[in-house]
Chain A
Amino acid sequence: MSQTPVLELENLSVAYDTPKGPVRAVNHVNMKIYPEEIVGLVGESGSGKSTLAYAIMRLLKGSAFVQEGTIKVLGQDMYKMSPTELRAFRWAKISMVFQSAMSALNPVMTVEQQIIDTLTSHRKGITPPQARARAEELLDLVRIDRKYLKNYPHQLSGGMRQRVVIAIAIALEPAFVIMDEPTTALDVVVQRSILDQIQEIQRHIKFSVLFISHDFSLVAELAQRVAIMYAGRFVEVTPSQRLQEAGHHHPYTEGLLRAIPRLTADEVTIEGIPGNPPDLVTLPSGCAFHPRCPVATEECKIALPPIYDTPNGLIECHRFAGEKVVQHV
């Protein structure tokens, strides 16, 4: 693909300042997302998924900071923009759907006010009637009856609230939307209808998505490529149809695949990954996954593996020594 990537992460590290020194939640991450592409990001809690999302939006709070590397959205460096530029850029070009729809919406504003608020603060010169018309259009797009415009968030169901949050995220037709576990708190049926809708809207107004989730099967269905994050690193980036084939993946990916009971497989056996996700303060040496890895060798304890370009995508594991090395950080 020769287009300009919508998102370009280069050697990105994000750390939290702690009394024990900086703790890296995102560790040397590289990624390009192209126009109209949906990329999934899977990882356990504490693996750095949300930190990465907030870093891209330049919304890091408190002690978190970008330690190294660059984030470019549509070719522009997010961290070199002035506050005014950033304000115009954010939401118009890049927006985000937050995890909890209840806390993402203001409980004392009606749905209409919140959509109009977004429109008027990010788009200069929009008139109130235009904004109101756009709000109606947006609700149609996410298939909520227009009568709910005058309602407050608590009057809506969880699924409807999440739809409103999505409507607000796409209000200015951004080129890139980050979705941080948008369906985690919802029931399966509601989740499915929201995912169907995201896909439909995405075909319609053509934006790229970084879809963050901990649910493997969900991401595999939605995304074209899936990045698997463990202890702040992308241990594997693979085309999602490849995920169906066991073998030739990162041991962590394979562990995750074995850990989910399959809905339709003939025999149901599952196998957990032994041990617990690592503590970022005391990260294991070498490959961070080696204490839990069934095929770990001495080398894994000492050296961080390079990223290999395998037929199944980019994998950071010594098992694939012999394949082409992409880079070593």
Chain B
Amino acid sequence: MSNATLVDVKDMVVRFPIRTGRGRSFITPVDRVSFTIDSGEVLALVGESGSGKTTIGKALLRIEEPSAGTIQVGNRDVTHIKGQALVRYRNDVQMIFQDPFGSLNPVKTIEQHLFFPLKKHQGLRGTELYDRTGELLERVGLTPVPETRIKYPHELSGGQRQRVAIARALAVNPKFLVADEPISMLDVSIRAGVLKLMNELKRDMNLSFLYITHDLASARYFGDRIMVLYGGHVMETAESSDLLRRPMHPYTKLLLAATPGNPVRQPLPETSNQAPDLLEGRKGCVFATRCPLVTDLCRNEKPPLQSLDAGHAVACHYAV
């Protein structure tokens, strides 16, 4: 695995306007988030709904434009690119969406789904185009290829559709994929197959992934590193096994204690289940409203993300 940094995000902020009683104000679902992904590396982004996971993924693909901060992919600043540059950028970066039932066009055959990116981005025509679609379908395990290519999405199961979505993302020969909860809508017996496929792709094609999930177990399986997100802020980031062995942030601990399959069963600390406040200009730690260890310091001052040791960083005043 080469260790060149492929994706470098610095202090990224995404804000959305909302209408309140007193006119317009802003929420920041992603607030000063920084991370890097090496080529061939998988960064798992874990957090609950509303924590900003998908927004980060969309910003990386430049479906959303960040309000501040920079995104560099392969030494190119892509934070505010437009037009042709943006089209070219998507040769390198693609996304796999959560819902394989919604992301495929019901009136197009499987091969037509692959023709489009191959023509547009690769300029393939004729037999070249035909052969390349076959290769892609074979690569993602949709065999027998001649039968699969003329099927429509409704003839495929959820797992097979997600494979089509992966093949379509691979069509442009990307270096980096954003996988937004790719297995959460699939049946349990099918999930492992899709995870394994992504693992093979990572290994064989030296692909980097941003793997968005809410499930720590699969994050640990697929992710080299895990980044825990809460209310748009990074709470903790570490090597996968290290994070599960030594969680330091109270939110990571809570998340781990709540995940089914954890042998240590203890009642969760009684905390409120209020959603985090995302309004701009709030004070203190975002997790303060739910934290069992909260003090006045947490309510008034946002803890910085501090590196503790090799690759383990945590944003908490009281991390031990």
Chain A residues within CB distance 8 Å of chain B:
44-45, 157, 159-160, 187-193, 196, 214-218, 220-221, 255-256, 258-264, 268, 270-274, 276-277
Contacts and interface: CB of A to CB of B under 8 A. Distances in A.
Contact of A262 (B160, B214, B217, B265): B217
Interface string B131-165: 00000000000000000000000000101100000
Contacts of A277: 157, 187, 189
A189 B261 contact: no
Interface string B229-252: 000000000000000100000000
A270 B221 contact: yes
A157 B217 contact: no
A220 B263 CA distance: 11
A5 to B, nearest CB: 28
Nearest to A255: B189
A263 B258 CA distance: 12
Given A261-B220, A262-B217, 15 more contacts: A157-B274, A159-B273, A187-B48, A188-B260, A193-B273, A220-B260, A221-B261, A260-B261, A261-B192, A263-B220, A271-B192, A273-B192, A274-B193, A276-B160, A277-B189
25 contacts: A44-B189, A45-B187, A159-B273, A187-B49, A188-B260, A189-B48, A192-B260, A196-B267, A196-B268, A214-B187, A215-B188, A215-B260, A217-B260, A262-B217, A263-B217, A263-B220, A263-B244, A264-B262, A268-B221, A270-B221, A272-B195, A276-B157, A276-B160, A276-B190, A277-B187
Contacts of B192: 258-261, 270-273
Most-contacted residue by chain B among A190, A262, A264, A274 (CB, 10 A): A264
Interface string B255-285: 1111111110101100001110000000000
Give the most central of B188, B257, B265, B274: most A CB within 10 Å: B188
A275 B170 CA distance: 23
Contacts of B34: none
Contacts of A215: 188, 260
B265 A221 contact: yes
Q: How large is the interface on B (under 10, 10 to 19, 20 to 34, 35 or more residues)?
A: 35 or more
B221 A261 contact: yes
A193 B255 CA distance: 11
Nearest to B190: A272
B191 interface: yes
B192 to A, nearest CB: 3
B260 A218 contact: yes
B218 interface: yes
B14 interface: no
Contacts of A263: 216-217, 220, 244, 256, 259, 261-262
B215 to A, nearest CB: 8
Nearest to B262: A263
Nearest to A271: B192
Nearest to B290: A189
Contacts of A272: 189-196
